[in-house]
Homo-oligomer: A and B are copies of this chain.
Amino acid sequence: MKINKNYLNLKENYLFLTISNKVKEYKKENPKKKLINLGIGDVTLPLPKAVIKAMHKATDEMSNKTTFRGYGTERGYTFLRDTIVDYYNKKNVFLNNEEVFISDGAKSDLGNILDIFSKDNKVLIPDPVYPVYVDTNVMDGREIIYVNNNIENNFLSMPDQNLKCDIIYMCSPNNPTGNVYNKDELKIWIEYAKENRAILLFDSAYEGFIQEKYLPSSIYQIEGAKECAIEFGSLSKTAGFTGVRCGYTIIPHEISYNNISLNDLWLRRQTTKFNGVSYITQRGAEAVFTEDGLKQTKENISYYMKNAKIISDVLTKLDIWHTGGENSPYIWFKCPKNMNSWIFFDYLLKNANVIGTPGAGFGSNGKNFFRFSAFCDEESVVEALNKIKNIKIDA
């Protein structure tokens, strides 16, 4: 038996392991120091009450022969797909419920979608980036072209018309930079995708954090997107589903290559290699979009956004270049004194007892940058930022 040799080309991702080892070592040497973690990319608030209620009810249904549900339906239950269609209607995006596929999270679908694409395609990926985009393509042996995101383009690169590609990754609001493309910028990307006959994979996992209404929270708010873009949604960060696992993928019927519909291909892929999401989880996800659910979700997001503002305000005061945090739970900033991000990690840990995420973990353009996350307690954020102010890490 021969293994898939492309796996040997994967770079070991030591980011979180290295962080964890450094923290362990520091704790061992300084057992009495209290550390504050601003490096976590996971939610900290519990599930909204509306979700809990719906999941209890669904669990009870599963205990009774007359209401028990076995295998779900292709694409996911209609009640949830219809709910998502309604959610999009409010964004002025009009979908058919057959264009919505329920998933166990955006990460699975972002990886698995590659099954339906040839290995010969050229892939355009921004740097810095969520490492999953890179690794999943390396596993398949696809050629990757990196696009530089940097201070000059405010970490929101625009298409290079001389570059030809077939698959384009976009994440907006972005992980790790927290930046959001506006409608005009997305329009240019869509035109570029259409000219290249490329498919645009749009990761909207953080759309719920967008506060400014003029910013697009779905690629389909831009004309032409339905012909060239797949959107990956998630309830992980917006509704606290990281431990419950539910997302959705939208493939408009309009997208086809040589008269082959991507919606049809994906349906075939999913009915062959996937068996749907728990009925209980799907009922919980449905509850996110009820009046109560949306209200509770919004309250949680506001809590995190307040943390983000506390972080941004201090960085502004310290005159440190930063972006994100206004429509995203992530704040991305330049390490003071042009420090390497790993050196700054150590400096921050030692001098302020604060843990963050070195930008180097997201690509070479992140090597002098750092990510803070708003997923934590307000008291901890205030305490952490006070400490940071005191160590005078001004640029």
Which positions in A face B, CB cutoff 8 Å? 1-5, 7-8, 10, 42-47, 49, 52, 55-56, 59-60, 62-65, 68-72, 104-105, 107-108, 111-112, 115-121, 132, 135-136, 139, 166-167, 197-199, 240, 242-245, 257-258, 260, 262, 265, 268-269, 272-281
Return A233 CB to nearest CB of chain B, in Å.
Answer: 14
Return A306 CB to nearest CB of chain B, in Å.
Answer: 16
List of B residues within 8 angstroms of A244 by Cβ? 62, 278-280
Return A235 CB to nearest CB of chain B, in Å.
Answer: 12
Beta-carbon contact of A3 and B118 below 8 Å? yes
Bound CA span A272–B13, Å: 10
Beta-carbon contact of B272 and A139 below 8 Å? yes
Query: Assuming A2-B257, A244-B279, is B115 touching A139 (CB within 8 A)?
Result: yes
Beta-carbon contact of A139 and B108 below 8 Å? no
Beta-carbon contact of A243 and B71 below 8 Å? yes
Beta-carbon contact of B55 and A121 below 8 Å? no
What are 19 A-B contacts with C-beta separation under 8 Å? A1-B257, A2-B121, A2-B257, A3-B116, A8-B260, A42-B70, A42-B71, A47-B68, A49-B63, A52-B59, A52-B63, A107-B273, A107-B274, A112-B273, A115-B139, A132-B273, A242-B275, A244-B279, A278-B278
Beta-carbon contact of A64 and B43 below 8 Å? no
Best-surrounded residue of A59, A108, A116, A243 (most CB of chain B within 10 A):
A243
